[in-house]
Chain A
Amino acid sequence: MAGSLVYNRRDEFDWVLVSVVFLISTIGILNLYSTGVASGAPELYLTQLYWVVLGGIGAFVVAIIDYKHYERYGYFAYGGGILMLVLVLLFGKEVGGSVRWFAIGEFRFQPSELMKVLLVVGLAKYLHHDPKAEGRKLEDLFVPALMTGLAMVLILKEPDLGTALLCLLVFLSIMMLTRLTFRSTMALIVSTPIVAIIGWSYLLKDYQKARVISFWNLFVDPEADKLGAGWHANQSIIAIGSGQLTGKGYLDGTAGPHHFLPECRTDFPFSVFAEEHGFLGAAGLVFLYLFLIMWCIRIAAQSRDRFGSVIAVGIGSIIFWHVVINLGMVMGVMPVVGITLPLFSYGGSSILTFMFGFGLLLNVSIHRYRRNYGA
């Protein structure tokens, strides 16, 4: 029994996934060093290194135990996430007008980050037990939509617009995996703008609206508003563009060391990277993310059961939407929303969450040839 819990001779370790994750994390840490070196906070990259190592160890632990055990406790995991969201609203630490963090000494933990992965686990559990051959009707979507909606409402209460939006996108991505009736598809398409209008009217804060408007202005007239709310987007584009083909060289950029992107460590690390390493570096990094997401889909396709597939697609979609929103923001094709670039942005909660996700992915990948004991 112990043998089957951790090791089976059919298991095949996924060196490709581990290598890609290792590569992106390493580049991310080096990049953080560049953003910090001239600003008098070079120790940040070390902090990041600790989180990556800690998260990596966690990921291996998560990966080794066959995921059928997680499947069993799927709803507990989801419920635990919801409980944390409730607790953070009651006891969380307020920073900059929003309550997102548990503060434990120096360390601040953000439950909404973890919630994204726990939501995937919850949805995977539900879909695992609800196999369908025919298309899903609207009522079939009710439970997963409720699970997602509950998480979103709690996260919006904090408020954390970006993460709530991400939960919605993850939900939609997972649902795209299933077969929907024409009516269900239309319902989802029609409800999206309605939700958007309601969200704009009642949920967005003024500063968030200003950023969306500034994005729109920048889109219409790139020269306008570059000192106001569009400052970040404009500076980010300048930094990326100025990298040209080969970049200005490591540690020789302006965006990070010169503070032209005040939030470069969390939101704009890609701009710093693209400025210093040019098109070759930036396109290379984009390719690594593309490869990572394609690998997630491959893991999903090779998974031994529905739970594993949904987990792989869910984690893949978290990564995908994080990358899309972040790169879209820094390249000026999307509004400025504080969404991190996986493994590249500074922040413990973000790193731990992604490492947890990679652990699950690795798990699904390692155990893809095992007999399915589940339903």
Chain B
Amino acid sequence: MTRKRYTQAINEALHEEMGRDPKTILFGEDVALAVFGDTRGLLDRFGPDRVRNTPICEATIAGMAVGAAAAGYRVIIHMLFSNFIYTGFDAIANQMAKLRLMTGGQIDLPITVLAVYGGGASQAAQHSDSNHPVLMNLGGIDVLVPATPGDAKGMLKTAIRNNRPSFFLQASGLGAVGGDVPDGEHLVPLGKASVAREGRDVTLVNVGSMIRATQNAAKKLAEAGIEAEIVDVRSLVPLDETTIVESVQRTGRLVVIDEARDMCSAASQIAAVVADKGFSALRAPIRRVTVNNVSMPYAPNAEAAIFPNADDIVRAATALCQPEVAAA
């Protein structure tokens, strides 16, 4: 086990997987200089055939990923900010998500799309979306939101290696955050949530970028006598419904924390699953801590007001626990 930063863990995964399979190629905007640090050193090591800077043309980057994968390559593309997915969306939603079905399974599409998502750094509305719900709704595409360096490395390696199209979404606020990463070959299965903290009173389901706020909230809640269980969802498609529902069966209460806009967020889906499959265990309504249905503003104070934080989570969880807390 070695302590590494989130970005460094991603960089290692890319180096290892490109080293492992010579048919793995990577292209996208500014991958040579690695503006986020994640693709650093790949061009020098693997050369300009396999690592290419593209023009700024997301529609073609995403479409080429489909064509090159259909023609036998294992493809990694970098979309930079996840907002830029929108300019490449035909190739993602109409081609990448559907080609395997439409061809009756004649091909696999081993494609991994890297993109950095989320706000919190005054990047303003067009560089701050948490747009995983848009991708979750497509069907046929894995949506991964690792929250720790260890999971980032292990899940990225699994995603590159399997034959499914996947979006590996990197939380913009987590890039410099450190964490333990197992040494040697480290693969994390997809579609498995992890219980990051055990607790008896309330389940906090974290979606990707909100992990620190969720952890801080759990600490504050503990100080107030409420023991929160944190389920880090890790992967939204496939979604580990079992781990989430089982946790709620233990605690009877659920708060889902998601940086997406509230409407049709990942939190909405998780709430629906628990309402459907864990209804009898619920002792209180389900709460979602999300972003209002607004775009992220620029000004630091305005963004902070919109951005979900630990206090929002504490408030939501405390309200759910109120009768018992009062009785105790």
Please say whether chains A and B are actual partners in one complex.
Answer: no
Measured CB to CB, the residues of B under 8 A from A are: none
